[in-house]
Structure 1
Amino acid sequence: MRNSRLTIIADENMPSVEPLFDDFGKVVRVSGRDLSAEQLIEADLLLVRSVTNVNEALLSQAKNLKFVGTATIGMDHLDTAYLDNRQIAYSNAAGCNADSVVDYALAAIYREAAIRKVDPKTLSYGVIGAGNVGGRLVARLEALGVNVLVSDPPKVKRIPSFIDTPLDELLQKSDVVCCHLPLTKAGAHPTYHLLSETELAYLKPDAIFLNAGRGPTVDGEALKAISHKQPDMTLLLDVWEFEPEVDLPLAARASLATPHIAGYSLEGKLRGTFMLYQQFTEYLGAMAGKQFSSILPLPEKPILVLDDTSTALDVINFLYNYDADDMRFRDSLSTDTALQRKQFDLLRKTYPVRREFSSLTLTGVVNDSLRHELHALGFNVEVKH
């Protein structure tokens, strides 16, 4: 296999596949949502995203397939038991876009806090799911000095010192609830509809509820019902239970609504492809000869000079226009379900370049409090004080 040219089937929306994988063989781009078994007849390597369900039906004619890589944190769209049975190696890109999702969550929270005219550092937080994304969010929130409760029962088994808060207690005590769960339907702790009518009833009447994990971990009908009973509740939603189909009334109820793009920073997308390149070269028993820096362009906005009027929200707004994301998404929604589904995928395919907080260096003169806050949020701070 190492000495032959491979046929590499890759999702059309995965960046930088050619510069990383061209040395191995011919890259063929495909629509991940519409990929068929016939397109994989000659495939040696398959690179996908979360929109492609990799299962027996899809791989029924892929007799040459040796490796499947998904440029995502989760693997709920891979039938790993089938892949194991076929002895097809597979890998994900765990953590590739975790910082991007955390940036999105913090931007959304700061946006809502400004609307409510409250200091986000005075709110209490609950994080459900402490994996790659949730764990990093907790770290940044703790760096901000806020009170954070975390619910992740499986983590207790892996890390006995981890303090797990019962879900009902977390929901009752938290002003802001952030859901960052993978989707699992089996095992000791399935997450499918983990938050349903019973659990959601524990939310504070004016809670801020954010879901940037997987849509089906929350019962959409139950969330819609409880949010209408509690008019002061705020919904910040990036994922949807039946996406690409979107529950239109639920989207209308949300204060911020986006098409599963929380992890769509340029760094996150490129890092996903690069991690699969590293894992595939390891599978081949070769050395990865290319560097991540070779595919990551310099940011268009590398520096922001602050003054004594600057706020953390000003800095976030300089780097990320979340209102534009929300507006584009709402403009795409249609009662024509087929059209709406197509528009959902088109928004993701044509998503504008967004850089992570860490790409921005802050200079200028600000007070110690703001300097600490910006550093905790994830920005590079070189300001004087």
Structure 2
Amino acid sequence: MIILADEQIPYVQEAFSTIGIVRRFPGRCLTRAVIQEADILLVRTITPVTGTLLEGSRVRFVGTATAGVDHVDLHYLRAHHIGFASAAGANANSVAEYVMAALLVLAHRHRLTLSGKRIGIVGAGRIGSLVAHKAQALGLIPIFNDPPLARATGDIRYRPLDEVLDSEIVTLHVPLTKEEPFATYHLFNGQRLALLKPSTIFLNTARGAVVDNLALSHQLRLRAIGPTVLDVWEHEPHLHWDLVQRVDLGTPHIAGYSLEGKAQATLLLYQAVCRYFGLPEQWYPSASLPPPMIPFLDIDAGGQSDEEVLYSIVTQIYRPEHDHARLTTLLSLSADARAQGFESVRAQYPMRREFHHTRVRVRRGTSTLIEKIRGIGFTVEEGQAPDSGARPM
């Protein structure tokens, strides 16, 4: 079999060479001529998979190494009996950790206390649920909005959107769809954004077009919304650059870009292909992942608040401000060069590991602090620190 794969999907060669010949392509340069001989097509969000692209090819399976599927014509695939799989859930922990890091950075920057605040979570799927779990560890109070789940379950914990928007923090974790009755395209339009308070912390790590970017830029210019974090943008890679300059943290669609999240996405596609074609699985990502860059932290929590300690721990593993700097550096370029730069920043994204790979030893820390550290994903170790690999604080 011939597997045609986006060149930015990690470990795709190692995984899929066990079942066929792997040919890699730049994600924005796929044409009908290129895919004619492919049996399997593996893409990311930057590659629209349409009937026009697939017509006349011998493609029997399409996979996207992403949670979102709005770039794939699923109706065409079903009508032509072409197999399909996405990587839904693969990067959920990465996104949830990004949200926690962003909140701790904003709290530190604006001298806010997170504990006791309500966090409105729009979308209670895998990512939204993980965000809620980690947010509770920080002492936040989750309030969910998810109309499809509300209808399916009748569970009263899924609250109306207007009620959720009254929270001190609002974070978005919905898929992008224009299909009623649960369309999310411009779910946050000018009218809905106007319901947010000037102090509301607003985050979007879902899809860019869930928020009307022009309307959001207008509200931020009026200072009608509080600290704002955007990882996704309308019309990527052609961003609304005025909006980039107005957000507190703007990053180049990398919230789910932990190494573990990327490897898990490849594994999910590999497993789906093996099931579809009845092939044995011969590749597992654990053999490919390198050791963590920071395996151990030795923490002295004396004289600090819990959130100060958490900020110090998290930002040693991941600093969203660095990704903000990578994006805003592009402002010095021409419009066309900015679009190319956006793609380059994503393609050359540095290795980021998830929290659970770092063990933390806490000295002079309360049991409450230790549970918070565990709750956001770290392994807390008791006893003496190892002689090597430790980073003291």
* TM-score under structure 2 length normalisation: 0.93
Q: Is the 8 A contact 1:8 1:45 kept in 2?
A: yes
Question: In structure 1, what is the equivalent of residue 172 of structure 2?
Answer: 179
Q: Is the 8 A contact 1:357 1:378 kept in 2?
A: yes
Question: In structure 1, what is the equivalent of residue 317 of structure 2?
Answer: 319
Q: 2:217 aligns with which of 196, 216, 224?
A: 224
Q: Deviations over 1:253-306 (max 9, x none)?
A: 011011100000000011100111111111112332332312222212111111
Q: Deviations over 1:310-339 (max 9, x none)?
A: 700011111012221111111023563221
Q: Unaligned stretches of 5+ in structure 2? A: 385-393
Map 1:231-246 onto structure 2 (within 5 A).
233-246=226-239
- Structure 1 residue 142 displacement after superposition: 2.5
Question: In structure 1, what is the equivalent of residue 104 of structure 2?
Answer: 110
Residue 152 in structure 1 maps to residue 146 in structure 2: yes
Q: Is the 8 A contact 2:4 2:22 kept in 1?
A: yes
SS of 2:24's equivalent in the other structure is: strand
Q: 1:31 aligns with which of 22, 26, 29?
A: 26
Q: Structure 1 vs Structure 2: percent identity of aligned residues?
A: 38
Question: In structure 2, what is the equivalent of residue 19 of structure 1?
Answer: 14
Q: Is the 8 A contact 1:155 1:162 kept in 2?
A: no
- Structure 1 residue 170 displacement after superposition: 1.1
Residue 302 in structure 1 maps to residue 301 in structure 2: no
- Structure 1 residue 377 displacement after superposition: 1.2
Map 1:2-151 onto structure 2 (within 5 A).
6-62=1-57, 64-151=58-145
Distance 2:210 2:332 in 1: 24
How has the CA–CA distance of structure 1 residues 223 and 383 changed in structure 2, closer, same or farther, with 3 Å as cutoff? farther
SS of 2:216's equivalent in the other structure is: helix
Distance 2:241 2:138 in 1: 35
Q: What letter corresponds to residue 19 of structure 2 in structure 1?
A: F
Question: In structure 2, what is the equivalent of residue 276 of structure 1?
Answer: 269
Question: In structure 2, what is the equivalent of residue 371 of structure 1?
Answer: 370
Q: Is the 8 A contact 2:114 2:139 kept in 1?
A: no
* TM-score under structure 1 length normalisation: 0.94
Distance 1:136 1:22 in 2: 33
Q: 1:333 aligns with which of 331, 334, 353?
A: 331
Distance 1:111 1:122 in 2: 17
Question: In structure 1, what is the equivalent of residue 188 of structure 2?
Answer: 195
Question: In structure 1, what is the equivalent of residue 388 of structure 2?
Answer: none
Q: Deviations over 1:158-212 (max 9, x none)?
A: 33335211111111x2111101111001132010001111111111111111100
Distance 1:289 1:24 in 2: 9
Map 1:205-216 onto structure 2 (within 5 A).
205-216=198-209
Distance 1:162 1:48 in 2: 38
Q: Deviations over 1:126-152 (max 9, x none)?
A: 111111211111122223332211111
Q: Unaligned stretches of 5+ in structure 1? A: 1-5
Q: Is the 8 A contact 2:14 2:283 kept in 1?
A: no
SS of 1:58's equivalent in the other structure is: helix
Q: Is the 8 A contact 2:173 2:204 kept in 1?
A: yes
Q: Deviations over 1:319-374 (max 9, x none)?
A: 01222111111102356322111111101100000011122111242221211111
How has the CA–CA distance of structure 1 residues 74 and 232 changed in structure 2, closer, same or farther, with 3 Å as cutoff? closer
Question: In structure 2, what is the equivalent of residue 3 of structure 1?
Answer: none
- Structure 1 residue 111 displacement after superposition: 0.3
Alignment length, in residue pairs? 378
SS of 2:115's equivalent in the other structure is: helix
Q: 1:362 aligns with which of 356, 360, 363?
A: 360
Question: In structure 1, what is the equivalent of residue 380 of structure 2?
Answer: 381
Greater shift, 271-280 or 357-366, is seen at 357-366
How has the CA–CA distance of structure 1 residues 74 and 314 changed in structure 2, closer, same or farther, with 3 Å as cutoff? same
Distance 1:195 1:352 in 2: 31
Greater shift, 244-253 or 357-366, is seen at 357-366
Distance 2:339 2:332 in 1: 9
Q: Deviations over 1:211-266 (max 9, x none)?
A: 00000000111111112222662111101011111111100001101110000000
- Structure 1 residue 125 displacement after superposition: 0.8
Q: What letter corresponds to residue 175 of structure 1 in structure 2?
A: E
Question: In structure 1, what is the equivalent of residue 163 of structure 2?
Answer: 169
